Amino acid sequence: MTEWTNDAAIQRWGAMPRTVLEQTALDGDFAKRHLINPVLLRMLGDLTERRVLDAGCGNGYLSRILAGRGATVVGVEPGQSLFDFAVEQETTAPQGIRYIQADLCDLPNLGGPFDAVVASMVLPAIPDWIGAMRACVHALKPGGLFLFTVNHPCYEQLWPTWREHGEYRTHRYLTEYEIPGPNGVDFHRTLSTYLNQVTRLGCHLTELAEPGLDPDATAHGPDGIDAYVHLPNFLIIAARRTT
Ligand SMILES: C[S@@+](CC[C@H](N)C(=O)[O-])C[C@H]1O[C@@H](n2cnc3c(N)ncnc32)[C@H](O)[C@@H]1O
């Protein structure tokens, strides 16, 4: 596997074209709309006057949803085109979101601890993911909620293999490997790797979710999306900082 640095990975993500940023500006893509966002929002609960960090906020769609629900939001995003787009949206329609361009492993002062930190589909994108997870946990108040989402490590290539073979196929799980995508690179890590690290950092797990797609939603999705009815493509982890 190529030796990736955080900077090299950020360069790739930060070249995301404007067309993609615009298409996903409202609520992310199909999978986020149907599978991830509803679970994250349920887990976060009432956001009125809560301070929330959107760690690796991308184009800022989740930051905008959270601010719309009453949260005071800080969005951290290092990638240039994503950061510029998020700031532009805030300038056009201000919601009081503060965007900071930074690597999670090298954060400036974010203005005090948070009630909740959300890192949606971010840790798999970071070579030094342990440093990034540590920063997310350290940004929390004691008792604060840490939510992170990843492609389910057991069903990572679900959609492409289902379309090709009519079933899910995989041939390796136990080692870390690269998953190149059209707009950036992700890294496969095992389920236990993520879960053990979050507990090692002083959190206790409160919920794991493996959302399945409502069969009625398949009519509005791309070809092969019925895979998501039968197998979970995402894992959503809720943990609380204990100290
Ligand atoms: C798959 S995108 C997810 C973005 C957003 N959270 C969402 O749900 O659409 C991965 C994001 O992680 C960001 N990222 C990559 N390396 C990072 C780092 N070291 N610190 C913070 N964010 C990083 C990328 O720039 C990109 O915005």
Residue % of the chain over a pLDDT of 70: 99
Is residue 225 a contact partner of residue 31, using CB atoms and an 8 Å limit? Answer: no
The pLDDT assigned to 8 comes to 97
Mean pLDDT, range 105-123, rounded to an integer: 97
Measuring from atom 18 of ligand 1, which residue has the nearest CA? Answer: 103
pLDDT in tens, 48-82: 999 999 999 999 999 999 999 999 999 999 999 99
Measuring from atom 10 of ligand 1, which residue has the nearest CA? Answer: 122
The pLDDT assigned to 243 comes to 80
Q: In this model, does residue 1 exceed pLDDT 70?
A: no
Is residue 16 a contact partner of residue 79, using CB atoms and an 8 Å limit? Answer: yes
The pLDDT assigned to 220 comes to 83
Q: Is residue 110 part of a domain?
A: yes
Q: Is residue 35 part of a domain?
A: yes
Rounded CA separation 16/38 (Å): 25
CB atoms within 10 A of CB 18: 12
Q: Mean pLDDT in the chain?
A: 96
Q: In this model, does residue 154 exceed pLDDT 80?
A: yes
Query: Which atom from ligand 1 is nearest to the alpha carbon of 54?
Result: 6
Q: What DSSP string runs through 165-189?
A: HSS---S--SS-EEEE-SS-EEEE-
DSSP classification of residue 221: S
Measuring from atom 9 of ligand 1, which residue has the nearest CA? Answer: 58
In the numeric block, which tokens belong to residue 212? 């399945």
* C-beta of 132 in contact with ligand 1 (< 6 A): yes
Q: Is residue 16 part of a domain?
A: yes
**Best mutation site among 5, 11, 13 for ligand 1, i.e. most ligand atoms within 8 A of its Cβ?**
13
Mean pLDDT, range 22-28, rounded to an integer: 96
The CA 122 to ligand 1 mean position distance, Å, reads: 5
Measuring from atom 24 of ligand 1, which residue has the nearest CA? Answer: 13
Closest C-alpha to 147, from 109, 119, 178: 119
Q: Is residue 1 part of a domain?
A: no
Q: How far, rounded to the nearest angstrom, does the alpha carbon of residue 59 sit from its chain's CA centroid?
A: 12
**Best mutation site among 29, 53, 105, 122 for ligand 1, i.e. most ligand atoms within 8 A of its Cβ?**
122
Lowest mean pLDDT among 116-125, 184-193, 213-222: 213-222
CATH of the domain at 94: 3.40.50.150
Rounded CA separation 188/182 (Å): 16
Per DSSP, the chain holds a count of helices (H) and strands (E) of 10, 9
- Name the pLDDT band for 242 (thresholds 50, 70, 90): very high
In the chain, the number of structural domains is 1
In the numeric block, which tokens belong to residue 200? 């090692």
Domain membership of residue 114 as a residue range? 6-241
* C-beta of 6 in contact with ligand 1 (< 6 A): yes
Query: Which atom from ligand 1 is nearest to the alpha carbon of 104?
Result: 20
Q: Is residue 101 part of a domain?
A: yes
Alpha helices (H) along 69-150 = 80-92, 129-138
Bridge partner residues of 35 (DSSP):
none
Q: In this model, does residue 178 exceed pLDDT 70?
A: yes
In what side-by-side order are the strands of the sheet with 51-55?
A: 98-100, 72-76, 51-55, 114-120, 140-151, 234-241, 203-209
Q: Is 27 helix (H, G, I), strand (E, B) or coil?
A: coil
Q: In this model, does residue 32 exceed pLDDT 80?
A: yes
Mean pLDDT, range 194-218, rounded to an integer: 97
The CA 56 to ligand 1 mean position distance, Å, reads: 4
